[in-house]
Chain A
Amino acid sequence: MLFKLKVGKVKLANSFDADAEFSHLKMLELRPGEGDVGKESEASIPDQVNHFKKLYSLQQVDLFADLQFEWSSFQAKEENLIDFGADSSRKLNEMIACCVGSPAMNFVSCPILVRVRNQREIEQVRIHQPFTVEYEVTN
């Protein structure tokens, strides 16, 4: 069975009315230019800064956004002599049994210790005389 998976829609968890926000900001921008010259705008500079900050936050993608997926499965269909082109094997949004492979594991996380087993025997040795070092490796 073949199946494909694609992202259909992205729905932000924090729903907002973007058009309303943009229209409000647009209104703030138009106010200084309209009407009497020299008359101060009703929207103060801190308000405008706050609105721009809000606009910037709205443009960020929420990490906890709800993703809606759409998938379709294709089953191996039997060969027919007469094929009218209808794709009857395709089924939309049906339950698909699948499995996910386990992540790679290794034993590196288990520390490996090394110590010299005959430490006392090799603390002092004689020149030109062989000696043996025994390294003990433990899991």
Chain B
Amino acid sequence: MLTVISELQTYTDGPAKLPFMVAGEMKSRLHLMPSEEGYLLRYTMFPQVLGINVLPSLTISDLNIQKLHLIKDFNIKVLVTSS
């Protein structure tokens, strides 16, 4: 069993206005079992800026081993339009 914590990183030193506001759980604690097929993390976001924006990066770290990132800065781009 592997205990991990997933964190959706927010922008700390980016533009004054955040591209996205994140609702819901920011940190999730997972217990990954080898027999399990997978897990689903669901985040709800509010677009704040028009244009092509990068979602907050997803990082999954191991709780038992510090500074061990299983997934580091996974992100995707989203086109935010007004219509």
Interface residues of A (CB under 8 A from B): 106-108, 110, 112, 114, 116-117, 119, 122-139
Cα-based distance from A10 to B39 in the complex (angstroms):
55
Asked if B44 contacts A136 (CB within 8 A), the reply is no
B58 smallest CB distance to A (angstroms): 6
Cα-based distance from A135 to B44 in the complex (angstroms):
11
30 A-B residue pairings within 8 Å (CB atoms): A107-B1, A107-B34, A108-B65, A108-B68, A108-B70, A112-B71, A114-B58, A116-B76, A119-B76, A124-B79, A125-B78, A126-B47, A126-B83, A127-B49, A129-B47, A130-B44, A130-B46, A131-B45, A132-B43, A133-B45, A136-B38, A136-B41, A137-B30, A137-B38, A137-B40, A137-B41, A137-B60, A137-B71, A138-B39, A139-B34
Among A110, A114, A122, A132, the residue within 8 A (CB) of B42 is A132
B32 at the A/B interface (Cβ < 8 Å)? Answer: yes
Asked if A128 contacts B46 (CB within 8 A), the reply is yes
Number of B residues near A (Cβ < 8 Å) is 40
B81 at the A/B interface (Cβ < 8 Å)? Answer: yes
B12 at the A/B interface (Cβ < 8 Å)? Answer: no
B residues near A123, Cβ cutoff 8 Å: 78-79
